[in-house]
């Protein structure tokens, strides 16, 4: 049964904040697309040497996740699975290479222009979609997994390999972000919100490119129908002072949780300047 397009119960009085500059790292055209559609692409942002270094730095964490999944029934844990995709979060805790990358001047510049003068890393994870994968990633907003205030934070989806319609590139629902967080329902393969494949926009990109989108853009990825792994490193940024809310056992809203763990949520921009 299709998920209804209705607001999240905690989405009360949301107003999208248009980004008007001045900008240091994005163009007015990119800002316009971000405001109107909720995404844009930075093509060929990182070269092959950087991508290889990222892949090498991710490998130990990805292998730990694969070993963990292999010990579970059917090799599955929510959206992750040995036959679907591995999801390896918090890699900056063990890798200086990845910690440095998350503070890369380009990424910090995007965060400064689209979040504000004081920005922390919020979350990062490697997502390696397995060959001939069994399941897609369902329509969701990043803010639908954990409800963060302010609701609009930033996702930079870095392609480590070419992302194509055949191997599961990102698809987005343009314009929906302006209404804030939608209601999500829990499924065996992750959270799901409303989305429409007939009107969605596919966003294929070459390795080294970035799909930049807000946490409020509904997006999904199809199954990988190829014989190669599709690799992405997802880096997210939120304003300093952002808090997360989780549901209580009775379905209520739990207390605000500060997102300021310096081990993995360190500053990348402070007082308007990249760190």
Confidence band, pLDDT 50/70/90 cuts, at residue 1: low
Q: How far is CA 161 from CA 104, 121, 234, in A?
A: 19, 23, 13
- Please determine, for residue 161, whether its predicted confidence score (pLDDT) is greater than 80: yes
Residue boundaries of the structural domains of the chain? 28-240
182-198 per-position pLDDT tens digit:
999 999 999 999 999 99
**What gap in Å lies between CA 52 and CA 234, rounded to an integer?**
16
What CATH number does the domain located at 28-240 have? 2.60.120.620
- Please determine, for residue 155, whether its predicted confidence score (pLDDT) is greater than 90: yes
* Tokens 């990043």 belong to residue: 142
Token pair of 158, please? 């870095």
**What gap in Å lies between CA 38 and CA 35, rounded to an integer?**
6
221-267 per-position pLDDT tens digit:
999 999 999 999 999 999 999 999 999 999 899 999 999 999 999 99
Q: How far is CA 135 from CA 63, 198, 221, 252, 253, in A?
A: 20, 19, 10, 31, 31
Task: List CB contacts of 56: < 8 A, sequence separation 6 or more.
Answer: 97
- Tell how far CA 141 is from the center of its chain: 9
89-116 per-position pLDDT tens digit:
999 999 999 999 999 999 999 999 999 9
pLDDT score of 129? 98
**What gap in Å lies between CA 211 and CA 209, rounded to an integer?**
7
52-98 per-position pLDDT tens digit:
999 999 999 999 999 999 999 899 999 999 999 999 999 999 999 99
**What gap in Å lies between CA 275 and CA 161, rounded to an integer?**
28
**What gap in Å lies between CA 239 and CA 146, rounded to an integer?**
16
Token pair of 46, please? 């990182």
14-40 per-position pLDDT tens digit:
999 999 999 999 999 999 999 999 999
Cis peptide before 150 (omega within 30 of 0): yes
């Amino acid at each position: 049964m299709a998920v209804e397009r209705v607001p999240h119960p905690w989405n009360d009085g949301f107003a999208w904040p248009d980004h008007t500059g001045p900008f240091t790292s994005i163009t007015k055209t990119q800002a316009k697309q971000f405001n109107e559609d909720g995404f844009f692409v930075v093509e060929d942002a990182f070269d092959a040497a950087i991508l290889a270094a990222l892949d090498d730095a991710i490998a130990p964490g990805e292998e730990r996740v694969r070993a963990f999944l292999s010990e579970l029934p059917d090799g599955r844990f929510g959206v992750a699975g040995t036959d679907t995709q591995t999801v390896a979060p918090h890699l900056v805790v063990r890798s200086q290479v990845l910690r440095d990358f998350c503070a890369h001047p380009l990424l910090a510049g995007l965060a400064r222009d689209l979040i504000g003068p004081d920005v922390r890393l919020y979350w990062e994870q490697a997502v390696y979609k397995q060959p001939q994968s069994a399941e897609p990633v369902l329509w969701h907003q990043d803010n639908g997994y954990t409800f963060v205030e302010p609701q609009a934070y930033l996702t930079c989806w870095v392609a480590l390999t070419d992302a194509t319609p055949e191997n599961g590139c990102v698809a987005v629902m343009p314009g929906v972000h302006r209404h804030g967080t939608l209601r999500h329902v829990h499924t065996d393969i992750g959270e799901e919100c409303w989305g429409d494949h007939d009107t969605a926009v596919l966003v294929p990109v070459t390795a080294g490119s970035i799909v930049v989108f807000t946490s409020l853009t509904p997006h999904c990825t199809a199954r990988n129908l190829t014989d190669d792994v599709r690799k992405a490193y997802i880096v997210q940024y939120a304003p300093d002072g952002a808090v997360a809310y989780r549901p209580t056992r009775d379905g209520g809203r739990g207390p605000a949780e500060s997102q300021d763990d310096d081990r993995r949520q360190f500053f990348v921009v402070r007082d308007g300047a990249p760190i």
